[in-house]
Structure 1
């Protein structure tokens, strides 16, 4: 037995359940679960509680499968970037082969089981989401274009559409708008993070916008996407999933978000360095709350609707 094989075996013995679970990107999965649940509960009609639980479970597993396949393919750049080098594969806890096998098995299982538990439309949307994230974004866009996060953001925007389809068996204006809310939120959220990161993406050879076009251009893009996002977010307030609660939340949050984007746009690189990117970090922190509070407001409208208190 070679030293390399002995080393590999010892690495595999060190892997714990937590290491394998980390392959599924649990923090990302939590967003998938929450937005899918809101889409499911806001949809007209309803599912039996057991069917609803199964739908959310299989959507979550599908999201985790995407994460495992992403880590399998991106293991080379993950070991270069400081924020990802402790992931299971670059840290040597899990092999690429194991990650691929887990990702593929969970992908097939989640799609088939969601189809059996709900309907073929929801299953097809989940299958397309996994394909889009792994093939279109991870294998193609991420390493090819600075617009990677813009187009690739669609993968993270599908869960509420899947949840809606699990109930209704179709797609509607409301589910498309929930998709668009996440889709338009992703670029300013992620670009704000990029502004105060060091040289991770440059070192890894990933053509993020701030690497290819500079931070000034990135700040301008954040402002443009934030303005477009605000229009979508407020517009949702006038649909069947909106209402006074949602509209109030949307108006306040988007006013703060636009003001933050304008503040970032006006700054120079010297300003950012002088205060250690304080405003960019604040904007990023607000972006984390932004999506949760918007979808939380949609959930509140859906919960109060049976009592005549939610919606219009």
Structure 2
């Protein structure tokens, strides 16, 4: 890892914001908030806001550390070359220190304001993404997304635990849903940006195992996701609003994954089925967790107290 020789532009607040990956963080914040709102029990609104703020700070800190470590790789990929570090708008040490500060602050505030179980799991999620996924898994195995998917699955678990103070089957299922959602979501993206990964030597599934194997894996994980998404309803943790929505959304996800799985060539290189699946996968997760909160609200259990 080498420091860019010349800083092309001065650093400003937008560069620090970019380090936190705001678009990714929006999903993290949303699922964490949904876990908090759907949990049984009550939490004071100020404490609820603090818990979500800590989740956001932790996610932002982990993202900054990810970009600090991967600055050279990002510079070689079209999709990431405009980030602050590849463009030389920021010193790498500043990105590293910013990531460490956000990460440490999020864990300490969570522990002091909420409780240390939530803080511990938040700390695990940060280390999982910044170290286990970024440093260890991503450059070494095409299963990086499968194993590393746990990094993005923690927010609803943390939000739920912030309210209840303990771990039960329901938040574990919410974790598992995102864990199994991640491979088809990310591999759909990897299929139409695989040349970027190949250029910098990252062993993503399409690069190492080929497109056919990747497409089969997308279908496999989507099939597994269908019953898993409905499991909170089947165990009695939610009502029919969530359950019916989960089945409908998951079947739509499966329907969109079939053209991707059955495709063998890149006709006209448009990759439309893959892009549709990737786009819908984001809508899917937002809608699924929104239905979780709606189900909780209409059940009369209330939200923040």
TM-score between the two structures when normalised by the length of structure 1: 0.92
Q: How much has 1:190 moved relative to structure 2?
A: 0.5
SS at match of 1:248: helix
Cα 1:177/1:215, change in 2 over 3 Å: same
Instruction: Kindly indicate whether residue 265 of structure 2 is the aligned counterpart of residue 289 of structure 1.
Output: no
Instruction: Kindly indicate whether residue 204 of structure 2 is the aligned counterpart of residue 196 of structure 1.
Output: no
Q: Which runs of 5+ in 2 are unaligned?
A: none
Aligned residue in 2 for 1:238: 234
SS at match of 1:143: coil
Tell whether the 8 Å contact from 1:81 to 1:203 is kept in structure 2 after alignment: yes
Aligned residue in 1 for 2:102: 106
Aligned residues: CA RMSD: 1.5
**Deviation sequence 1:50-101 (CA, Å, 0-9, x none):** 1101111111101100000000001010000101010110011111100000
Tell whether the 8 Å contact from 1:111 to 1:126 is kept in structure 2 after alignment: yes
Q: How much has 1:259 moved relative to structure 2?
A: 1.7
Distance 1:136 1:47 in 2: 32
Distance 1:166 1:235 in 2: 22
Aligned residue in 2 for 1:123: 119
Aligned pairs for 1:1-312 within 5 A: 7-8=6-7, 11=9, 14-269=10-265, 272-274=266-268, 276-306=270-300
**Deviation sequence 1:143-182 (CA, Å, 0-9, x none):** 0000000110100000011111111111110000000000
Q: How much has 1:275 moved relative to structure 2?
A: 5.9
Report how many aligned residue pairs link the two structures: 299
Distance 1:288 1:58 in 2: 23
Cα 1:307/1:187, change in 2 over 3 Å: closer
Q: Which runs of 5+ in 1 are unaligned?
A: none
Larger relative contact order (C-alpha < 8 A, sep ≥ 6)? 2
